[in-house]
Chain A
Amino acid sequence: MNTQSSRWLALPAVLYLTVLFLGPTSVVLAYSFMRRDIYGGVHLQFSWDAWRMATDGITLGILARTVILATGVTVANLLLAYPCAAALARMSRERRALWVLILSFPMMTSLLLRTYGWLNLLPLAWRGTLPGVGLVLTCNYLPFMVLPLLKAYERADRSLVLAALDLGATPWQAFWRVTFPITLSGAVSGAALVFIPVSGEYLIPHFIGDGKVSLAGTLVMEWFDHRHWPYAAAAATWLAAIVLVPIAGSLVWKSRELSPAK
């Protein structure tokens, strides 16, 4: 099959993306430039109102908090996932499969139930705080970091670490100079899988944050509820922009990684 004809294979996906994603996203972007209708919806009139609100100190503060939270959760997950993936990679195939199942089991249960569970576990003082929300998010997203990292570990040749030790690298040097670089692609995938959904998280910040932790996701929801669609649309656009940065970053990194040999 030549490349010309095989292009048509992508047609269903392209149609799907255009109709169900690019279209609605354009509508959201367009709404952010319209005037608010107090009963919900918009007036078909151009207006800067929503963006004037969406670039004020309060909104930018909330966005900054969102970025800090998502970054923090991503870093915490990286720190937790590396030793975990390293331990899993050294297990026998059967034991590893069992542990991966145990690890990903929470993902198969109801998010709502798990979050209510956390409400009982979390000390009262942590409720309604950013670190409290961060803790629950970190726990919730750990499998998304561990699994891609584990894949990277499995691909990586264990004998390379032995070679590094043999050539004089301390275990710490062997990690930073060998293990980390050769598993970096897994860490990048995991970071994208954690950072992107955490930036838009609504449910966990809503329940654990007790309405006191405003984030991009809760912002969109609240102003949608308040029937200020243009502002909610502007906030949603902001959110998309925040998410776009790491996606673009990881794409650029991956394309460099795959560039042809010199």
Chain B
Amino acid sequence: MKQDESSTPAVELRGVRKGFGERTILDGIDLAIARGEVLVLVGPSGSGKSTLLKIVSGIETPDSGEVWLSGECCTHTPPYRRPVHTVFQNYALFPHLDVAGNVAFPLAVAGVARAKRQPLVDQALSWVHMQRHARRRIDALSGGEKQRVALARALVDQPQCVLLDEPLSALDPHLRAGTLDLLQELQSELGLTYLFITHDREEALRIGHRIGVLNHGRLEQLGPPEEVYRRPQTAFVASFLGKINWLNGTNAPAGGKPGIGICGCHIPTDGHPAVPAGPVKVGLRPEDVRIGASGRIQARVVSRLFFGDSTTIRVQTADDCELVVDQRPPSDAAMGDMVWLDWSPAAMHLFPADEIDAQANASEKEHAK
């Protein structure tokens, strides 16, 4: 496959829109994936991430916008002429071919001579530690083995970008971490480019060089995992990427300095670029709140869950504000104790209240699933 200068993105989407009938699936997506980068698109089901993957692979065509692969416009190029391969959620291995036959498939259809295929197939199988299973039938493999064969098949002819469609979701939970390690290892060893789709935020945060959060066909935020997690630009991003407490607050400057009032207490917001006018929603991650002998607000412990290395404590303030607090190492606070809560003002995520309520509700429902 063609080697361009390294500055050309492996995949670039420009204003991609797609709808089915009345429904808009993708609403103007702009995205570029650099060579050797792992870009994770994360979002709830129905956010459009699978459609986006199909548009990159060529199985779907956008209604408008362009798809560029390694500097070539491929918007209307059929899937079999695109330098990308997909690792499918259900593996999609060919049941009539054995392991080696599956891995050799991309080479065979590309017209690579039989003798030249063998070393490439062996190499790809060794990447996924399956070289001893070359002659096995697909139906004799376990789920994890199938996934590795699917990966070897997608890597064997070294595509410009590997599209991973929820690659871990069909695996047993205990296999996921190992498979994620393998994906990460291969990526850095071989300098692969991944476009990784998942609805699992932990997977996304762990493997992504950059994370894009999709919601209702829009890319709400795109950036490195830490940035997206620490500085969410929308309430949806804040609640989708991790547990968060939402508190009602008001914009309340005091003594000429900006600040907000929540749960009957005033907190200065020097560090924040801008505090929205009027009612404010304040997001506080459970791990950002400390329980101690002194602090900002006093609250009563209403429930306590012990996890060995940590505790999850639910507290209630005099103003009926409820918060969930994660304490690692475990806190000694017991049910009914009065405790002080403290947090750094920088840990608060501030959003205009009206913009959020509906969204936060929707995402809570998603989490409840």
Contact = CB atoms under 8 A, between A and B. Distances in A.
A168 interface: yes
Nearest to B156: A167
A182 interface: yes
B140 A166 contact: no
Given A159-B90, A162-B59, A167-B154, A262 B136 contact: yes
A168 B59 contact: no
Contacts of A167: 80, 85, 105-106, 109, 153-154
* Chain A contact patch, size range: 20 to 34
B207 to A, nearest CB: 21
A28 interface: no
Nearest to B95: A182
Interface string A166-181: 1111110110011001
Contacts, number: 72
Contacts of B108: 177
B92 A157 contact: yes
A262 B141 CA distance: 11
Contacts of B109: 164, 167-170, 173, 177
Which of B57, B88, B94, B135 has the largest number of chain A CB atoms within 10 A? B94
- Is the contact region of chain B dominated by helix, strand, or loop, or is it mixed? mixed
Contacts of A91: none
A241 interface: no
Given A159-B88, A159-B92, A182-B96, A166 B79 contact: yes
B78 interface: yes
Nearest to B54: A162
B93 to A, nearest CB: 8
Contacts of B85: 166-168
Nearest to B163: A166
Interface in A167-224: 167-171, 173-174, 177-178, 181-182
Interface in A218-262: 261-262
A163 interface: yes
Contacts of A160: 92, 94-95
Given A167-B153, A261-B140, A262-B135, A162 B92 contact: yes
A169 B105 contact: yes
B137 interface: yes
A163 B92 contact: yes
Nearest to A160: B92
B110 interface: yes
Interface string B216-229: 00000000000000
Contacts of B337: none
B15 to A, nearest CB: 24
A166 B157 CA distance: 13
A76 interface: no
A165 B139 contact: no
Contacts of B78: 165
Given A163-B94, A168-B106, 9 more contacts: A163-B92, A165-B58, A165-B78, A166-B59, A166-B80, A167-B153, A171-B80, A261-B136, A262-B98
20 contacts: A157-B90, A159-B88, A160-B92, A162-B59, A162-B79, A164-B94, A165-B79, A165-B80, A166-B59, A167-B80, A167-B109, A168-B80, A168-B106, A168-B109, A168-B157, A171-B80, A178-B94, A178-B96, A181-B96, A262-B136
Q: List the 3 shortest-distance A-B pairs measured between CB atoms, nearest first.
A: A163-B92, A261-B140, A169-B109
